[in-house]
A and B are shown apart, each in its own frame.
Chain A
Amino acid sequence: MQFGIFSVSDVTTDPTTGRTPDDTERVRSMLTIARHADAAGLDVFATGEHHNPPFVASSPTTLLGYLAAATENIVLSTSTTLITTNDPVKIAEDYAMLQVISDGRMDLMLGRGNTGPVYPWFGQDIRQGIPLAIENYALLRRLWEEDVVDWEGRFRTPLQGFTATPRPLDGVPPYVWHGSIRSPEIAEQAGYYGDGFFHNNIFWPMSHTKKMVNFYRQRFEHYGHGRADQAIVGLGGQVFMRKNSQDAWNEFRPYFDNAPVYGHGPSMEEFTATTPLTVGSPQQVIERYASMRDDVGDYQRQLFLIDHAGLPLKTVLEQIDMLAEEVVPVLRKEMETKRPAHVPANPPSHAERAAARLEDAQTRNENEARDEIHA
């Protein structure tokens, strides 16, 4: 199972000091955080994509392209790449380029975005969010899978004889996750293609997450990609840890109370009870997250939000160390013990998918050769 971190890239005033980083400092913090996560041994770093302050991550592949060179092992991903307002042709090009540069150490998560005005800013209509996600992804897949594409749809200029370059590494398109919180249509899409499904449940009660993940699993099986429990699932999470639970509560409370998303709303007590936010000792985090599989089944990727709400860089790096040293090894072991053998431990890696493709091609060649002999 993969454990990693995902960032929304918010520039937020530290409520305990009143200090606000500028955009440059925040972008560089993200680079430091990703490199630190890689060095600490976490499996995934994912960046959001936003086109409005207070967020700085407008250009994921530039950020991840740099990180591909500056890190060793960590899988570089997105949370999410906007399939609605980006041109699918540009997504095909940018992420194939990232795939080649990182030697396959990447994947991406597609999402629709949650900021209304981004749609008109990029010339789209928010009421077409789902149709855009469906059509754009259908085109994106063809651009990766077919060398020459003729295409016509509702939302984009038609293409005649178009080839997206660079061609995907080893002829294998980047692995795709579909992220959605409230739209079963997107779970249907992920199930149809046999792609991964990520439910960012950090602001939602588990009862909701469970239903959506189950729906995806059923559709994955319906479309013949394997059994429902073999579908590839990722979850969001959110933690703040200190050795002593009470220290964690005291230190995190001002950040919680003033956080842009849930600040000034429910109390931290209420919010930790109804959502996966866990504030406490590493042991409490382990217990809480080890129980997630009870609701959604064995899953392959757990991402934690840790660098938000104005938390200082030093604190974020400490959280990464605690995750990597105290939480992940125990959680991984526990999940491994409980996972049945037929359920994949991880989302498919580039190497596995490239090997599978090679095997398919060999089988095909052998069959053709045999057919010729018999002909």
Chain B
Amino acid sequence: MRDGDVSVVALSAGLRQPSSTRMLADRLGQATLSALDAHGVTATAETVEVREIAHDVVNAMLTGFPAGGLPEALEKVTHASGLIAVTPVFGTSYSGLFKSFMDVLEPDSLTGMPVLLGATGGTPRHSLALDYAMRPLFAYLHADAVSTTVFAATDDWAGDGDTENPLPERIERAGRELAERIMRTDRTGPADLYDDVPSLDQMLRP
């Protein structure tokens, strides 16, 4: 684990207020902090609501550069010690807004990032979207997603969801996995554009 501040950032792509996606993101964040705390690691938690920067995300796609609130959100997400990414499932996959945010990230900016994946939906029948949509996206980005993902269906927010393996237990387990991954990782943030510029001699003689 890197020295200095440990930050857990939750990226929530929920659209409604209040949002069950945001609720799940917050719960996963708390579970991660608790697990870190159990190991004696103090961490901070922050949430990035994609909704609040939705226009900036679209503008960045159209103009090619981030402006408005987007640079700060990108900085938080890519410099986190661990990332929790939660999206509602729309039409069998992550929401378009969630994917748009992922699309304006620099291609290498999540390499090696410990990630916990979460999703919400009306019924548990959508839960596999985490494994066939979310996980490949983060694998493509070379992020380091923990094996447990958490899907919260509407019924999970009451007692009649999964009684064998209820939502709080799944959240707790997922938070523990992310905490352990954060502690084993020494990622220090995304590469800077100017870090490894080859000299002209190196470029002339590849």
Residues of A within 8 A of B (CB): 130-131, 134-135, 138, 182, 184-185, 188-189, 192, 203-205, 208, 211, 215, 261-262, 264-266, 270-271, 274
Contacts and interface: CB of A to CB of B under 8 A. Distances in A.
B29 to A, nearest CB: 30
Contacts of A138: 204
B62 interface: yes
Contact of B67 (A189, A215, A266): A266
B200 A188 contact: yes
A185 to B, nearest CB: 6
Nearest to B200: A192
A205 B67 CA distance: 8
A271 B68 CA distance: 10
Interface residues of B, number: 17
Given A189-B200, A211-B193, A266-B62, 5 more contacts: A131-B206, A184-B197, A188-B203, A265-B63, A270-B67
Nearest to A207: B71
Contacts of A262: 62-63
Interface in B192-206: 193-194, 197-200, 203-204, 206
Most buried by B among A130, A215, A270: A270
Question: What is the interface of chain B mostly: helix, strand, loop, or mixed?
Answer: loop
Given A205-B65, A205-B67, A265 B199 contact: no
Contacts of B91: none
B206 A266 contact: no
Interface of B: 58-59, 62-65, 67-68, 193-194, 197-200, 203-204, 206
A142 B203 CA distance: 17
B193 A184 contact: yes
Given A188-B197, A188-B198, A270-B59, A203 B203 contact: no
Contact of A266 (B59, B194, B204): B59
Given A184-B197, A262-B63, A134 B203 contact: yes
Contacts of A274: 65, 67-68
A258 B194 CA distance: 35
13 contacts: A134-B200, A182-B193, A188-B197, A188-B199, A203-B63, A215-B197, A261-B63, A262-B62, A265-B62, A266-B62, A266-B63, A266-B67, A270-B59
A171 to B, nearest CB: 24
B198 A185 contact: yes
Contacts of B62: 262, 264-266
B203 A131 contact: yes
Contacts of A266: 59, 62-63, 67-68
B56 to A, nearest CB: 8
Given A203-B64, A205-B65, A266-B67, A134 B194 contact: no
A134 B58 CA distance: 34
Contacts of A261: 63
Given A265-B58, A265-B59, A266-B59, A185 B203 contact: yes
A266 B203 CA distance: 38
Most buried by B among A138, A204, A266: A266
Nearest to A273: B67
Contact of B68 (A182, A184, A270): A270
Contacts of A208: 65
Nearest to A134: B203
A184 B63 CA distance: 20
Contact of A215 (B59, B194, B198, B206): B194
Contacts of A134: 200, 203-204
Most buried by A among B58, B64, B68, B198: B64
A181 B200 CA distance: 18
B75 to A, nearest CB: 12
Contacts of A203: 63-65
Contact of A184 (B59, B194, B204, B206): B194
B50 to A, nearest CB: 17
Contacts of B63: 203, 261-262, 265-266, 271
B10 to A, nearest CB: 27
B180 to A, nearest CB: 37
A230 B197 CA distance: 22
A262 B67 CA distance: 13
A334 B127 CA distance: 64
A200 to B, nearest CB: 12
Contacts of B65: 203-205, 208, 274
Contacts of B68: 266, 270, 274
